[in-house]
Structure 1
Amino acid sequence: MTLDTRKFEVLRISILSHCNFACVYCAPKEKENFSPQLTHSHSLSPDQLDKNLNLLKPHLKIKEVHLTGGEPTLHKNLIELIQIVKNHSIQEIALTSNGHFNPDLLEEMVSSGLTRINFSLDSITQSIFERLSDRKIPVSHVLNQIKKAKQIGLKVKINTTVLRGLNDHEVLNILTWCGEEGIPIRFLEFMKMGPLQKEHPSYFYSAEEIRNQIRLKYHFQDYPTPQDSTAQYYITNEGYIFGMIANHTEPFCEGCNRLRMDSKGRIYGCLSDETSFVIPESFDEIQSTLHQAMLTKKNKFTGSELSMKYIGG
């Protein structure tokens, strides 16, 4: 797929830039001020979201809006934001969360139009969960949230970022738990972004190493994967579905159809490029801006100083 034929079809929106976790790969405490210009928190207002969608929709056929953060469930106007997206006739409305929120919020989000939720779950062992998240929160709370989300009819996926020496030995345990619950899991290679950019080689654990671990216990084969998917999916003989998001070793950049918006309402064409754009008011200028954003897309993931909590992944 070339830049000439590629289209923005998925809009990922970081609705706020702060989080109630301080995960080691995103916001380690010892590096809180690694980039002074990025230390201030911002939240996207409902009016700004509505305005930006009105500006973008004549130019884009948006098939999915994905709300991220930071931790999006901390946004005081989250339900209103979901309703705004639904009012724009977006069929697929997704959200990524660490699962640490009031359980009653799940029903509210579904009633407002949410169709899918992705949970970030990097460990199911309490001590490792605490070390990775830097929070003394029962991992059982997150696991129960995941189960409840599935029970009330949301499509659910699990995202697990694998880091060498921290949670790489948990791959089989997490896969087994997800498989027994009937929930697909995606294992993510640790991305060269944000505060641990320089330490990336020390923590990096490849997709092939993850697959080799899984082969110790399970037989698996390829599973049908959409062309624009960030993951390559597999299925075990037991029916457990898992994916690999391997930005570094198995890049999928050529099929990327994602446009990103940060909590200030600025848009980005590529996760590996810090160039952002204000959405202009003029129809012709918007067309030109989207073209410029598309030109920032890379052929492979090269990393960025931006922390994931500012651009939303």
Structure 2
Amino acid sequence: MSLDTRKFEVLRISILSLCNFACVYCAPKEKENHSPKKTYNQYLTPELLNTNLTRLLPHINIKEVHLTGGEPTLHKDLIQLIQIVKQHSIEQIALTSNGNFDKALLEKMKSAGLTRMNFSLDSISQKGFETLSDRKNPVFQILDQIETAQKIGFDIKINSTILRGFNESEILDLLEWAGKRSIPIRFLEFMKMGPLHKEHPLYFYSAEEIRNQIKTSYQIKNYPTPQDSTAQYFVTGEGYIFGMIANHTEPFCESCNRLRMDSQGRIYGCLSDETSFELPDSSDEIQNTLNQAMLTKKTKFIGSELSMKYIGG
């Protein structure tokens, strides 16, 4: 697909850069002084979100807004942000969370208009969870949060980032836990992003290795996958659905329809490019800005030293 025919259809927004976990691939302790080249406001304000959506919508047909972070449930105005997106008649409103939040928030988010939740879950063992997140929260509470979200009617997916030497031994356990609950799970190749940018080869575990490990215990076949999906889906003989998000070994850059926004309201066209743009007031200038953002898209994922939490992953 050429740049001339591609369109922005999904808007991913990092509504804040703070998180209550310190995962090894995002905020490792030995890299705690790592900071982005630019400074970032801590929270996206409801006023700025409303302004930017008002400016963008005449120019692009946004099918989905995906709220990310940091940990988006830490945002003090989260419910208002969801309501603003809903007011702009955007039907699909998703949120990615680590699951460490007050359970009462689930019903509030659903009432506000949230339709889907993606949970980041890299381990279901207490030891593995503590090692990866650098937190001692009981992992069963995270698992219970996921099941509760499913029960109240959210469309649920699980994202598991696999790092060599950390959690590759839990791939089958993660698949079984999700599969028995009819929750699709996506296994992510560790992306060359943020503070471990230079050490990426040390921890990289490929999609092929993940699939081969699954094949030792399951028969798998292809599962219908939307054309613009970041994941390639498969299903086991037991009906367990899983996806592979393989930015490095099986890149999907040429079909990417994502536009990203940070907590300052600046937009990014590509995860592998730190170039950002402020949305201007003029309608003509907005279209030109979107065209410039589209031109930053790469044909192959190359990564960035900028952590994904700053640009809506």
TM-score tier, shorter chain, comes to: over 0.9
Q: Which residues in structure 2 correspond to 1:80-99 (within 5 Å)?
A: 80-99=80-99
1:169 maps to a residue whose letter is S
Determine the C-alpha separation between the residues in 2 that align with 1:168 and 1:249: 17
- Asked whether the 8 Å contact 2:267–2:276 carries over to 1, the reply is yes
1:269 maps to a residue whose letter is G
Determine the C-alpha separation between the residues in 2 that align with 1:215 and 1:246: 17
Aligned equivalent of 1:200 = 200
Structure 1-normalised TM-score? Answer: 0.99
Determine the C-alpha separation between the residues in 1 that align with 2:196 and 2:241: 30
- Asked whether the 8 Å contact 2:99–2:145 carries over to 1, the reply is yes
* Structure 2 CA distance for partners of 1:28 and 1:198, relative to 1, 3 Å: same
2:142 maps to a residue whose letter is V
Determine the C-alpha separation between the residues in 1 that align with 2:62 and 2:36: 34
2:220 maps to a residue whose letter is F
Q: Give per-residue Cα distances to partners, 1:227-264, cap 9 Å, x unaligned.
A: 00000000001000000000000000000000000011
Q: How far did residue 312 of structure 1 move?
A: 2.1
Query: Percentage identity across aligned positions?
Result: 73
RMSD of aligned alpha carbons = 0.9
Unmatched 5+ stretches in structure 2: none
Q: Give per-residue Cα distances to partners, 1:65-93, cap 9 Å, x unaligned.
A: 00000000000000000000000000000
* Structure 2 CA distance for partners of 1:41 and 1:139, relative to 1, 3 Å: farther
- Asked whether the 8 Å contact 2:36–2:307 carries over to 1, the reply is no
User: 1:55 aligned to 2:55?
Assistant: yes
2:274 maps to a residue whose letter is E
Aligned equivalent of 1:281 = 281
Aligned equivalent of 2:259 = 259
Q: Give per-residue Cα distances to partners, 1:251-295, cap 9 Å, x unaligned.
A: 000000000000110000000000000000000000000000000
Q: How far did residue 168 of structure 1 move?
A: 0.5
* Structure 2 CA distance for partners of 1:39 and 1:296, relative to 1, 3 Å: closer
Determine the C-alpha separation between the residues in 2 that align with 1:190 and 1:221: 24
Q: Give per-residue Cα distances to partners, 1:139-161, cap 9 Å, x unaligned.
A: 10110000000000000000000
Q: Give per-residue Cα distances to partners, 1:16-61, cap 9 Å, x unaligned.
A: 0110000000011221222364576511000000000000000000
- Asked whether the 8 Å contact 2:40–2:264 carries over to 1, the reply is no
- Asked whether the 8 Å contact 1:123–1:167 carries over to 2, the reply is yes
Q: How far did residue 118 of structure 1 move?
A: 0.1
Q: How far did residue 115 of structure 1 move?
A: 0.2
Q: Which residues in structure 2 correspond to 1:76-155 (within 5 Å)?
A: 76-155=76-155
User: 1:218 aligned to 2:240?
Assistant: no
Aligned equivalent of 2:231 = 231
Aligned-partner SS, 1:83: helix
Determine the C-alpha separation between the residues in 2 that align with 1:38 and 1:8: 25
What is the aligned length?
313
Determine the C-alpha separation between the residues in 1 that align with 2:41 and 2:140: 29
